[in-house]
Amino acid sequence: MVIEGECFCGKVSYKIEGLLRDARSCHCSRCRKAFSSQASAYALLDPEDFTWVSGEDLLTTYIDKNECGFKFCCICGSTLCGVVGGIIHGITLGCVSGDPEVQLGRHIYVGSKASWEIIPEGVVQYQEDVPEKR
Ligand SMILES: [Zn+2]
Ligand SMILES: [Zn+2]
């Protein structure tokens, strides 16, 4: 399948020729800041499936000391994808257009969620990272 996405202002867009997997929401304090929200929502992909369609020159990249980071639109500030070691490994679900045929399957770092957030019942929750990474 082809999944398309774009930032809030529409200047940056991409396509993914493949499938997303392991959609998740992270409630850690870092994701709250990076996504300006109660949590992140992203899915993993195969990096070779991903192509920027427009606006690649408008991207700003923030990389932390662990070589992990995000790419943003420098005009509107949308967070478009996650980068590890220079490789795009995941995309933010908020910027996907239409139905990417994945649903949030796991909520991680629930143990450090904001005091003001109420997580709905019935979702799989982990106090810290996904079990396979612990
Ligand atoms: Zn934008
Ligand atoms: Zn997080």
Q: Which of 4, 5, 36, 1 is nearest to 19 (CA)?
A: 1
Q: Out of 1.20.120.530, 2.170.150.70, 3.90.950.10, 3.40.50.1820, which CATH number does the structure's domain 2-133 have?
A: 2.170.150.70
Please give the average per-residue pLDDT across 104-123, as a whole number: 92
- Percent pLDDT > 70 in the chain is 99
Write out the DSSP string of 49-66: GEEEEE-GGGEEEEE-TT
Ligand number nearest CA of 39 is 2
Ligand number nearest CA of 126 is 2
Domain ranges in the chain?
A: 2-133
- Note the pLDDT tens digit of each residue in 5-56: 999 999 999 999 999 999 999 999 989 998 999 999 999 999 999 999 999 9
Q: Which of 55, 128, 130, 42 is nearest to 84 (CA)?
A: 42
Ligand number nearest CA of 108 is 2
CA–centroid distance, residue 34 to ligand 2 (Å): 9
CA–centroid distance, residue 124 to ligand 1 (Å): 32
E strand or H helix at 89? strand 87-92
Split at pLDDT 50, 70, 90, the class of 60 is very high
Sequence-separated (6 or more) residues with CB below 8 Å from residue 65: none
- pLDDT score, position 113: 95
